[in-house]
Structure 1
Amino acid sequence: MTEKDSGLYAAFKAKDARFDGRFFVGISSTGIYCRPVCRARQPKPENCTFFPTAAEAEQAGYRPCLLCRPELAPGTSITDANANLVRRAARMLEKTCGNGQSLEEIAGKLGYTGRHLRRVFTAEYNVSPVQYLQTCRLLLAKNLLTDTNLPVLEVAMASGFGSLRRFNDLFKKHYNLSPTALRKRVPEEKDRSGNITLALGYRPPYHWEEMLRFLAGRAITGIELVKDGEYMRTVDLKNAEGKRVYGWVRIGHKPKQNALSVTVSETLLPVLPQVLARVRHLFDLYCDPTAVHETLQTMNNIRPGLCTLGTRVPGCFNTFEMAVRAVLGQQITVKAAGTLAARIVENYGTAIQTGIEGLTHVFPTPEDVLAMGENITNNFGELGVISARSNTIFELARALSQGDIDVDLCARPEEEMKKLMGIRGIGSWTAQYIAMRAMEWPDAFLETDVGVKKALPSFTSKELLEMAEAWRPWRSYATVNLWNTL
């Protein structure tokens, strides 16, 4: 056993949650692979092989553990510049595993050729993108079989398999049992309402109440709702055929399992991978809080309690919705921006039926905004939006609709921020804020932000920016930590 493997075995033996999702353990005596937090009987070191991804463990012939359930392990954060391309590609494969998007399309979106992506992906993860995608589909299917009552055919389709026969063949080949046999082995109580409830894991600690407080303060009436310790919102996504699919999602907290519970309306089954990917983004489930805190704990030298272990950066579910709200929030209060956004939704959003009081609309799409043409200043003006903001929103919608700017898992966030600032009415604060919440950029810093200045009132903007150099590459987390002290 190498020195590295010895250290990984020690983490496995300690059931250290900080390593959950960072590696998986193949156990030769049983033929299964586990998460580092698995509570099954501890295997001997000589029977353990360590893999960076579940996909590699499965390619080596191991089956997922039914006790610790590797499909619930949190993913990895996009930080390391060398691994940035591969991590974003992996994230896109997870998000689109049901819509038939080709590897060439994914590579093109990231600014590379398919051949280059295959090469660097295999070098980083020791499996090809196709093998990784197959594991994503199988683990999603396993999650659905375990936690829902969905028919096996619907599980296969929702997980991205083209046919039931192919799904059954691959499942038996990888897991040595049929989908129906797996379901019989996990007779747990399941949601029988027709909705879909799954769990998504995270690395503890997780400050759930702080996250809810942030989202509640910025919730758009008609679209979002925070109630009884849960977050709810409407959903508008496109399926593989480009047809819009509407529904709702509800997220709660399961602290004992280090997971969030995600309940999805049955109408969203065709876009389930997209929904789960957006929930992970919104609640920053890929974060490694220990790695962040190791860098940012020096903030506590300025004032005790300035940085707290476990702080997350709130992401977003709908990037255009969040970007428009950021523009509306320029130079006015959070509450005032929410009022304007709610008026836009009420007048120009699409009304949908959810059966949940308070969830009535979905946000206008970029195409909806563009359809207003020159009338946008009058239309939005009647709602209290000044003409300059209306024109900025129109140009933002045009850039996103035409693909001139990408704020969704883009390969080079800093370049997209420059493009954003090329739109009249979008300055550094707005571009950084959009990068932080929409692009998953961990290194945004808002030195001119009112909240940041209020948290550190004795420093000028220039001094704050210089001070924040020591907080790279986690300045987005530093910003949220400062906000949380107010």
Structure 2
Amino acid sequence: MLPDPDAAYLALKARDARFDGRLFVGVTSTGIYCRPVCRVRTPRRENCRFFASAAQAEAQAFRPCLKCRPEIAPGLSAMDSSAALADAAARAIEHGVHAGESVSIAAVAARLGVTDRHLRRIFTAAHGVGPQDYETTQRLLLAKRLLTDTDEPVAQVALASGFGSLRRFNAAFAQRYRMPPTRLRREGAAPRSGEPLRLAWRPPCDVTGLLRFHAQRALPGVEAVDGLVLRRTLRLPSPRGPVAGWLACRLVPERYELWLEPSPSLAPALGGLLERVRHAFDLDADPARIDPVLATLPQSSPPGLRLPGSFDGFETAVRVILGQQVTVKAARTLAQRLVAAFGTPVQTPFAGLDRLFPDAATLAAADPADIGRLGIVRQRVRALQALAAEVAAGRLDLHPGAPLQPTMDALRALPGVGEWTTQLIALRVLGWPDAFPATDIGLLNALQPALGARDATAATRLAEAWQPWRGYAVIALWQTLETPA
């Protein structure tokens, strides 16, 4: 929802980063729309038109600013939309666009259990534009980012952003932005060598807590945290087939930005990589909505707390299963053995980062006895291989754009996967901000002073006051423990 126009203009004048990604301003004198943090001279009030999304601005024939770059603004979190169903559809569309996949609105509706017509109606009511206009905006903003931040040929940009042909891409780009793609590069938007990709967040952000969480779980050979920088290896799907490489993420608190340096080998999958980085660092969170709820916790939490996500949904789900009934340290040790036995070597410029986490097909085909010899008990071997088989066969998607309830039901149906595991995967992989693993021992230890006992039922009752942000409450409570949960 938008603030009233006068309040929106005050936010624009103040360049208030809390409204970034929630407020866009179209300037009638230029035909351009901007983020509220744009550093150009503030336009006159009578020339401003305010929108809740980039898609709404483009539907009114405004084109994106080349300076503040609306494509790097924070997006929607899972609880942002007034209609949860419409928001789930928006996330599914965005995932398909960034993954380079075709997006069928009818298929999205079917996955969400509603008719195509009903989805279009509620989507338009919630987001101000229809789902196809929303999809086109996401594809064009991704294309603009690829044109600006990479030297990929225009034909490859068209393919990576989901256009079936270069002709269709050129036509859509020229219609929306009133210039051909090649002109965007000619007019100073070409990539500069060595410059990182920028991703914005809404302040405040608990950078210290976020990086501590990742550092405590960093898997040797795959991931490392050094100060404000996280580096890791990664394998990604792309329109050209699977690609592998490395990435380095530097958090820059004074600019409310994350600077991303990917290896050149990941360029064909840049859209999917950007989506995964946003999810891993929860860059789309809105602290103005979350912090007031966390203020009611028994222990204080830092402002701008983030819900750490995952770079690879399958990897994180495997590690959640390995963490059943053991400590974080023990689970990391088991995961390290799994990487040593089944991971693939990869070259990086960083000492100690030289392995890719094993993919689903590899673990599904492995001899169970070989996995068991790593110290993983039989029940968890069975759970890991059941999960891997479903993911490898394409029957189970593990990413924030996947439909929540059907995915959780599919997880519960796997052998050795109970409610604790399902809730943790929903929290870290599906990005569900209201996930609550009530039986988690770390959570119960943190709540014991308030409850007087380690009681999952009492914890669930207490947590009702923290809906729909119980997942953030879990992270906040874990932070109060001396030993990571």
Q: TM-score, normalised by structure 1?
A: 0.89
User: Which residue number in structure 2 is paired with residue 227 of structure 1?
Assistant: 226
Contact 1:327 1:430 (8 Å CA) reproduced: yes
Q: Secondary structure at the match of 2:232?
A: strand
Q: Secondary structure at the match of 1:33?
A: strand
User: Which residue number in structure 1 is paired with residue 330 of structure 2?
Assistant: 336
Change (3 A) 1:96 1:403: closer
1:91 deviates by 2.4
Trace 1:11-410 onto structure 2 (pairs within 5 A). 11-79=11-79, 83-97=83-97, 98-186=100-188, 190-192=192-194, 197-240=196-239, 243-299=241-297, 302-303=298-299, 306-372=300-366, 375-376=367-368, 378-402=369-393, 405-409=396-400
User: Which residue number in structure 2 is paired with residue 448 of structure 1?
Assistant: 439
Q: Secondary structure at the match of 2:296?
A: helix
Q: Secondary structure at the match of 1:298?
A: coil
Task: Name the amino acid aligned to 2:128.
Answer: N
Q: Cα deviations across residues 379-411 of structure 1 (Å, max 9, x unaligned)? A: 112111111111121222234445665443366
Partners of 1:181 and 1:113 in 2: CA distance: 41
Task: Name the amino acid aligned to 1:11.
Answer: A
Change (3 A) 1:37 1:423: same
1:74 deviates by 0.4
1:475 deviates by 0.6
Partners of 1:154 and 1:395 in 2: CA distance: 36
Task: Name the amino acid aligned to 1:51.
Answer: F
Task: Name the amino acid aligned to 2:386.
Answer: E
Change (3 A) 1:48 1:410: closer
Task: Name the amino acid aligned to 1:26.
Answer: G
Change (3 A) 1:398 1:156: closer
Change (3 A) 1:436 1:294: same
Higher alpha-carbon deviation: 332-341 or 226-235: 226-235
Q: How many residue pairs end up in the alignment?
A: 474
Matched, 1:485 2:480: yes
CA RMSD of aligned residues (A): 2.6
Change (3 A) 1:413 1:146: closer
1:49 deviates by 1.4
Partners of 2:382 and 2:147 in 1: CA distance: 48
Change (3 A) 1:414 1:387: same
Higher alpha-carbon deviation: 135-144 or 175-184: 175-184
Higher alpha-carbon deviation: 49-58 or 395-404: 395-404
Task: Name the amino acid aligned to 1:465.
Answer: T
Task: Name the amino acid aligned to 2:328.
Answer: V
Task: Name the amino acid aligned to 2:313.
Answer: T
1:226 deviates by 1.8
Q: Secondary structure at the match of 1:96?
A: helix
Contact 1:95 1:276 (8 Å CA) reproduced: no
Change (3 A) 1:92 1:262: farther
Contact 1:158 1:269 (8 Å CA) reproduced: no
Contact 1:283 1:315 (8 Å CA) reproduced: yes
Contact 1:207 1:311 (8 Å CA) reproduced: yes
Q: Secondary structure at the match of 2:311?
A: coil
Matched, 1:467 2:466: no
Change (3 A) 1:445 1:50: same
Partners of 2:31 and 2:80 in 1: CA distance: 32
1:268 deviates by 2.0
Q: Secondary structure at the match of 2:295?
A: helix
Partners of 1:188 and 1:399 in 2: CA distance: 42
Structure 1 runs (4+) deviating above 6 angstroms are none
Partners of 1:349 and 1:447 in 2: CA distance: 33
Q: Cα deviations across residues 131-150 of structure 1 (Å, max 9, x unaligned)? A: 22222222223223333444
Task: Name the amino acid aligned to 2:196.
Answer: T
- The gaps in structure 2 that reach 5 residues or longer are none
Partners of 2:473 and 2:214 in 1: CA distance: 18
1:474 deviates by 0.4
Task: Name the amino acid aligned to 1:58.
Answer: E
Change (3 A) 1:65 1:108: same
Contact 1:109 1:410 (8 Å CA) reproduced: no
Contact 1:94 1:273 (8 Å CA) reproduced: no
Q: Secondary structure at the match of 1:263?
A: strand
Matched, 1:433 2:424: yes
Partners of 1:197 and 1:368 in 2: CA distance: 33
Contact 1:290 1:309 (8 Å CA) reproduced: no
- The gaps in structure 1 that reach 5 residues or longer are none
Q: Percent identity?
A: 46
Contact 1:315 1:438 (8 Å CA) reproduced: yes
Higher alpha-carbon deviation: 97-106 or 475-484: 97-106
Contact 1:143 1:198 (8 Å CA) reproduced: no
